[in-house]
Structure 1
């Protein structure tokens, strides 16, 4: 049986240029406004048999505001960025330019002392592969955009460097269908998401 997992990217809590590694800030007013504007379109996903979210405040708040009442999944947490936690990419680059360059070039590198990109993708993929498949159920998971990118890299068996070429916008949806070890990316018309 095929499983359908729809990821909803959490609403943002800051302008895109101010996004921080492992950002634990709650939704700001702009984020709440985005959720309210998107709620009608995203509400049908609340019919999913299983509803999950990343442990970040904005993922939980997004899921709750959309009526999903999601269960927090630690495996859907953002990549552990070690000593770069809370910094923007620009701030990390200003402090440790060689380390940032090495991290961007090597998916197995951990110059920040946290988790490698490869480990992050594998962790998120492991969560995806262990979802219950009984009766071809539907799952919705509200997660940080980075988690959605990691899930796509894993599901498509793409090279880890592909992670940097995937743009996940706040409140966008991405659907994967399949089962452990065999996932397909599904594109739906906006009116057929449910």
Structure 2
């Protein structure tokens, strides 16, 4: 019995270099344009038996724009960044360079007062492992890129440092198949590329 979970990265709400921790902004015009451009390839995922999303505005809006009508899942929220919430990485580095260095180097640390990388990966992995298992069951989840990176680290049982080496572009899809404790990454055909 295998489950198929396809993650769809939320469309953009800001230029990539201006990404903020726990960003609550809606889609910007570039994000809407990207959704329209790739919708023909992504709309068929609405046939999934279960449709979820991160609770962020851009994840919910992306899912709705694609016709998924997803159910927001608290476990798929972005990493709790404590006092760094709303900051860019550069802004956090300017304020607390040693704390940011420590956070990037140690997956157990949470100098911002929020959630450590290990806790974040475990939370997202716990959500993945508790999905209802039906043979051939399909799930689609629109999520923040950070959530998808965490899911992949968990699913592949990769070292936590791998999280920093996974690039998830807006509207990219990633599929894992399997069941609790036994996940495989599934790479499929190419979709039209979203603008960088």
Q: Give the TM-score of the pair, scaled to structure 2.
A: 0.96
1:145 maps to 2:145: yes
| Alignment correspondent of 1:116 | 116
Residues 20-59 of structure 1 correspond to what in structure 2 (within 5 A)?
A: 20-59=20-59
| Correspondence for 1:165 | 165
Q: Which residue of 2 aligns with 1:97?
A: 97
In the alignment, which residue of structure 1 is the partner of 2:156? 156
- Tell me if 1:184 matches 2:162: no
Compute the displacement of 1:135 (Å).
2.8
Flag as ranges the 4+ runs of structure 1 deviating above 4 A: none
1:129-185 deviation per Cα after TM superposition (whole angstroms, max 9, x unaligned): 000012320000000000000000000000001000000000000000000000000
Q: Aligned equivalents of 1:48 and 1:121: distance in 2?
A: 24
Aligned residue pairs, count: 191
Aligned twin of 2:194: none
Distance in structure 1 (CA, Å) of the matches to 2:138 and 2:166: 24
Give the superposition deviation at 1:189: 1.3
Q: CA deviation at 1:190?
A: 3.1
| Corresponding residue SS for 1:109 | coil
- Equivalents in 2 of 1:168, 1:189: separation in Å? 16
TM-score (norm 1): 0.97
Structure 1, unaligned runs of 5 or more? none
Q: Tell me, in whole angstroms, the C-alpha distance in 1 between the residues paired with 2:167 and 2:20.
A: 16
CA deviations 1:99-148 (Å, max 9, x no partner) are 00000000000100000000000000000000001232000000000000
